[in-house]
Chain A
Amino acid sequence: MFHRESGYYKTTYKADMALFRLPIGKVAVGAIAVIFFIICPMIFDEYYLSIINIAAIAVIGALGLNILLGYTGQISIGHAAFMSVGAYTAANMAVSFGWPFWLTVPAGGCMAALIGTIVGMPSLRVKGLYLAIATLAAQFIIEWVLNHTPAISGGIQASIEMPRPVFFGRTLETQAELYFFILPVCVLAIVATLNLVRSRIGRAFIAIRDQDIAAEIIGINVYRYKLLAFAISSFYAGVCGVMYTYYFGIANYEAFQLPISIDYLAMCIIGGLGSVLGSIFGAVFVTLLPIAIRIFMENVGVFFVDGVYLAQVIAQMRLILFGGLIILFLVVEPDGLNKLWQNIRNYFRIWPFSY
């Protein structure tokens, strides 16, 4: 059976440390790549592609937050603000200097990383709740600064219109075109994160999360690595913000307020802390949830709720279900969707001899 370890002998350390330790991994990822890069754009219309686009952007942000929260054990409630930093940086660069996307995306990421590192400085002295409050303050400060500094935020309602990304002379307008812009960035983010967490830097992050004293004793500069985690995490957030801006065609701080920070925390918790796959699950789940609720209410809810109130009920239901789900996951499965997936996988790993 090609999904089990038995019979596959690794004769080099390189093979033992590979991303896919079993052939099924390569096959599965190959299949997923075919589905997303070939089949999806062929069969889905603009609406469904737009959903995938949004989810893919969310995956980038969730990965970033998970590096900080799940791997390094440092909390940030200001991640939406880092996204806005990336968004405005990219928008300004694109509008003022006409920079193409392959410059604005890293520029937005780097600026967010810079701000994120500064915001992360309290983590050198405080942990847990106190750090949460410190980063929460950053969320509000950054929001306020953007809102009150026309030089950055463009003046009129603090929003900048973002030109569409241009790829080899072709302006990406439709969802299908944006799809091929967003998805590769998302894949890049996933692969980079997978690599990071299995190498020296990622291990050091986990060491700080599990035992910061022991981490320091074996030679990890805890202060430096905490700041590095903040920098990397907010780089992802910045890139995520830039992608949102390209997607919506506008940079506006209202798209990056506190509830968005909470959304991303929820993605990490629901998906699974300290797991790349969990970040993807969580981001997709949280993105799809409101859509699923809306479709459900439009089809089933009309029998219970008067059509006039439907929109309102949908909006409220999203919040109620959201809060409920976070509590449910924290109580029932603190390791999130990723753990459920692991359980399924482990079941089949020894199936049918599950004793």
Chain B
Amino acid sequence: MSAQSEESARTKLKIDQVSKNFGGVKAVTQVSLDVPEGTIFSIIGPNGAGKTTLLNMVSGFYHPDEGSILLDSQDVTRRKPNERARLGIARTFQNIALFQGLSVLENLMLGRHVHMTSGVLASFLYWGPAQREEVVHRRRVEEIIDFLKLADLRQQPAGELAYGLRKRVELGRALAVDPTLLLLDEPMAGMNQEEKEEMVRYVLDVNEEFGTTIVLIEHDMGVVMDISDYVAVLDQGEKIAEGVPDAVRADPTVIEAYLGADHE
């Protein structure tokens, strides 16, 4: 939805001929994707199509068996997940992975980890550089808390929040990294209509306000077709279609994958 006109030339994320096998199972086979900067790029497909595997390779959790992954034309295929966070990749998880024992605020402060530098000695002393750094980053975290309307939950333990709120806190933690590429793995799964609408609003706001490139995995077709600039369809580990939402919706192979060949 966002203005990709002037930026569309630049490729934010390039997935080049990537494959991944687990034993004999071909999870992802020779998939290539170009995600233009500043866009919302959705990956859809039936269960077991390899969407999450693909996302895991982008965030560095798996390494592809073949092919390469480029972020801003820089090859990150062999980089570890924590190094990729430094390069500006952040993500949320399908099954929420918050730090249960910590408050919402501390969860978000952890998102600032890569931007902070206090070492062991500074932490032991605290008063001085470490405290100044905490305050600086607290300010940024408070901006995100305002943005996601989490102010009243600040001090709540993350593990005690309702499902929809935990999803939102996880988005907040990813935003605290100040990512340039945000990977969202089913951010709206298990939500009711109202919560979905709210989450869609946040995703669009992130894209528009911060210009963050977003790669989205989602099952709700209505949402995907409404907010995506581009859609790619995976089926059984292979990319079967790619393009703007309307073109993908009309693609016969996509209809076949979703509804079966003999639907007529």
Residues of chain A touching chain B, judged by Cβ–Cβ distance below 8 Å, are 12-14, 16-17, 192, 195-196, 198-204, 206-207, 209-211, 213-222, 228, 232, 274
Contacts and interface: CB of A to CB of B under 8 A. Distances in A.
Nearest to A202: B123
Contact of A13 (B102, B111, B135): B135
A247 B102 CA distance: 38
B125 A195 contact: yes
11 contacts: A196-B120, A200-B123, A201-B123, A204-B110, A204-B113, A206-B106, A211-B100, A216-B81, A217-B90, A219-B86, A220-B82
A26 B57 CA distance: 50
Contact of A198 (B61, B100, B126, B177): B126
B130 A200 contact: yes
A200 B118 contact: yes
A200 B125 CA distance: 12
A348 to B, nearest CB: 19
Contact of B111 (A12, A198, A199, A218): A218
A199 B118 contact: yes
B177 A199 contact: no
A309 to B, nearest CB: 47
A220 B91 contact: no
Contacts of B118: 199-201
B124 interface: yes
Interface of B is mostly: helix
Given A199-B130, A210-B99, A217 B85 contact: yes
A221 B83 CA distance: 8
A215 B114 CA distance: 11
Contacts of A207: 99, 102, 110, 113
Interface in B75-128: 80-82, 85-86, 90-91, 93, 97-102, 106, 109-111, 113-114, 116, 118-120, 122-127
Contacts of A204: 110, 113
A206 B125 CA distance: 19
Sort A-B residue pairs by CB-CB distance and give the 6 closest, nearest first. Answer: A219-B85, A219-B114, A195-B126, A214-B97, A199-B123, A210-B99
Given A200-B123, A200-B130, A218 B90 contact: yes
Contact of A219 (B61, B102, B109, B113): B113
A210 B131 contact: no
A232 B118 CA distance: 15
B81 A217 contact: yes
Contact of A196 (B86, B99, B124, B135): B124
A206 B158 CA distance: 13
Interface in B125-155: 125-127, 130-131, 133-135, 138-139, 142
B124 A218 contact: no
B205 to A, nearest CB: 21
Contacts, number: 112
Given A200-B116, A200-B130, 15 more contacts: A13-B134, A17-B138, A195-B123, A199-B118, A199-B130, A201-B120, A203-B109, A204-B113, A206-B101, A211-B99, A213-B61, A220-B113, A228-B120, A232-B120, A274-B101
A339 to B, nearest CB: 13
Contacts of B29: none
Chain B interface residue bracket vs A: 35 or more
Contacts of A213: 61, 97
Given A195-B125, A203-B110, A220-B113, A214 B100 contact: no
A196 B138 contact: no
Nearest to B111: A218
Nearest to B176: A218
B51 interface: no
Contacts of B130: 195, 199-200
B85 A218 contact: yes
B114 A218 contact: yes
A200 B129 CA distance: 12
A229 to B, nearest CB: 11
B51 to A, nearest CB: 17
B59 interface: yes
B173 interface: yes
B120 A214 contact: no
Contacts of B86: 219
Contacts of B81: 216-217
Given A13-B138, A200-B123, A219-B82, A206 B102 contact: yes
Contacts of A192: 124
B142 to A, nearest CB: 8
A16 B90 CA distance: 28
A232 B120 CA distance: 9
A195 to B, nearest CB: 4
Contacts of B123: 195-196, 199-202
B131 A203 contact: no
A218 B177 contact: yes
A48 to B, nearest CB: 31
Which one of B91, B119, B124 has the highest number of Cβ atoms from chain A below 10 Å of its Cβ? B124
A274 B113 CA distance: 20
A71 to B, nearest CB: 9
